[in-house]
Amino acid sequence: MGIKCLILEERFKNLQNKLSNYLQKLQDNANVFVLVSNEYDNDNCITYSFLDSINLCIKNGLQYINTIIVPVEKSCKFDNVKYILWFSKDKNNLIFDKDSIREKSIWKDVEWGKREKNYNPKGKDPGNVWIPTNDDGNGHITEHILMTQQQVINRIQKMSNATQVETIVDLNPIKNTIKISNDNVHNIETDVRTKYEVIFDSSENMKPIKDNSVSLVVTSPPYWDLKNYFKSGQIGQESYDKYLERMKNVWKECSRILKDDGSIWININIRVKDNYPILIPYDYVNQFKNLGLFLKQIFIWHKSSGIPTGAKNIVDRHEYVLVFTKDKHTTITVGRYNDYKNPKINETNIWNINRKAGSVGKKYIHPAIYPTELTNRIINDMTQPGDMVCDPFLGSGTTLISCLKLKRSFVGFEYNEGFKDLIISRINSDTSNNIKDVKFV
Ligand SMILES: C[S@@+](CC[C@H](N)C(=O)[O-])C[C@H]1O[C@@H](n2cnc3c(N)ncnc32)[C@H](O)[C@@H]1O
């Protein structure tokens, strides 16, 4: 009898060998789970990330289903995230026993966001961040639970409907020795001079910005072939190769304007199109490495609201934030946020930030807004008041709002000038600044 559920953990360099041993022995309907931690070098740069392992497994003929995030007991100073890469030998034969791993509903008869129609008495659709909760029965979470390795394996086996005999568990976890402190950064509030500028043009050319002048780039770029931002010539509507070529030009400009000790933070996710994964974050990492930058960290933005992915998958509840630096010695020092009712989970680089549904875009529409809480954290932790921050894809103005609130200077690009009214309306409603403080070009 072949293997129905394969659970592997291996360093990237040995993964190919290990996979080869098992591939021939898989049943046609097998599930494969590859457990991965990001691997770091002595300068605390990521040498191999979970994205490399996804790419390798796909190259070996496995079909990508999803990436599950699990916080783990502190094994190094930072990171402490296990990525469970879920593949199937043949998606058409995918086994997924959703009911066996449903998550507890914490509200009575409604789902998150008070959605009655989504309520299932058997429990919530399972998501791709595994942090079970306890609650007080009145909709309040009292504890976030750190799963043990055995609990994770049991859950994987249950969802694969596999018996002990049909499962292979072959784990060789890596030990990271990364030494990064994550003490809070103390900002010195002085009388700082700030200036704010929004340029309605393509960020493929940032000519008005001087070399080495920006301390931080924070952005969420347009995905390839996903959303329409209502203006022809926007990035995201061309072929994937052309898309990457245009993005490379933006990253090249970001790298040019970045100070030597600065960092670039990019919010992005893997995009699944027609059942096939487009590894946008993997391609960005390679582009940055080719430009001579270093991948220093990957943060997980965990959202309670999720994107449904159909009967044969778990709900998407996270996105990534990739962090690059120009100098490999630049440290990424962030504050400790108490997002979870479990101090051990607060020590990981998983941030639980929920979007305030409906707070923006009622009157003016923008289809892809990220939360100010996310940009606030990054800007507050990585810069001092007065420092220059840039967002090459400003959209509705979120990064600018954070800069106005935190007294950081800002320059941003947005291709569609039609979003100007939305940006102005957000400045007026979310900040105490006068609109004259911001120069629109
Ligand atoms: C994901 S959205 C950014 C949303 C933003 N983070 C927010 O919170 O509102 C991407 C934005 O990139 C803009 N965009 C597309 N092509 C561009 C280009 N070549 N230069 C600058 N902006 C562009 C789109 O119009 C869209 O507003």
Enumerate domains of the chain plus CATH numbers.
Answer: 3-171 (3.40.50.150), 196-440 (3.40.50.150)
Distance CA 319, CA 367 (A): 16
**pLDDT at residue 309 is higher than 70:** no
Distance CA 19, CA 14 (A): 9
Q: What is the average pLDDT across 298-308?
A: 85
Name the residue type at position 221: P
Q: What are the angstrom distances between the C-alpha of 128 and each of 2, 102, 303, 337? A: 27, 12, 10, 21
Cα torsion for 413, 414, 418, 424, to the nearest 10°? -50
How many CB atoms sit inside 10 A of residue 124's CB?
18
Of 278, 222, 221, 299, nearest to 254 by C-alpha is: 221
Q: Hey, what are 217's tokens? A: 């780039």
Q: Give the tens place of pLDDT for each residue, 321-377.
A: 999 999 999 999 898 899 999 999 998 999 999 876 444 545 557 888 899 999 999
Ligand 1 atom at minimum distance from 235 CA: 16
Q: Give the tens place of pLDDT for each residue, 2-50.
A: 999 999 999 999 999 999 999 999 999 999 999 999 999 999 999 999 9
CA 151 – ligand 1 centroid, Å: 41
**pLDDT at residue 239 is higher than 70:** yes
Q: Hey, what are 313's tokens? A: 């998958």
CA 437 – ligand 1 centroid, Å: 22
Q: The whole model's pTM is what? A: 0.95
Of 355, 368, 405, nearest to 189 by C-alpha is: 405
Q: What is the pLDDT of residue 298?
A: 97
Beta-bridge mates of residue 170: 8
Beta-bridge mates of residue 32: 6, 87
Phi, psi at residue 390, to the nearest 5°? Answer: -130, 140
Nearest residue by C-alpha to atom 8 in ligand 1: 369
Decide: 379 and 406 in contact? Cβ < 8 Å: yes
Q: Hey, what are 71's tokens? A: 């916080």
Three-class SS state of 59: helix
Which residue has tokens 């007991």? 73
Beta-bridge mates of residue 9: 35, 171
440 against 118, higher pLDDT: 440
CA 295 – ligand 1 centroid, Å: 23
Beta-bridge mates of residue 322: 266, 298
CA 398 – ligand 1 centroid, Å: 11
CA 400 to chain centre: 20
Distance CA 203, CA 220 (A): 13
Ligand 1 atom at minimum distance from 246 CA: 19
CA 422 – ligand 1 centroid, Å: 13
Question: Which of 228, 231, 234, 284 to mutate for ligand 1's pocket (most ligand atoms within 8 Å of CB)?
Answer: 234
The pocket around ligand 1, CB under 6 angstroms, is made up of 202-204, 220, 222, 229, 234-235, 366, 368-370, 393, 395-396, 398, 413-416
Q: Report which DSSP code applies to 129.
A: B
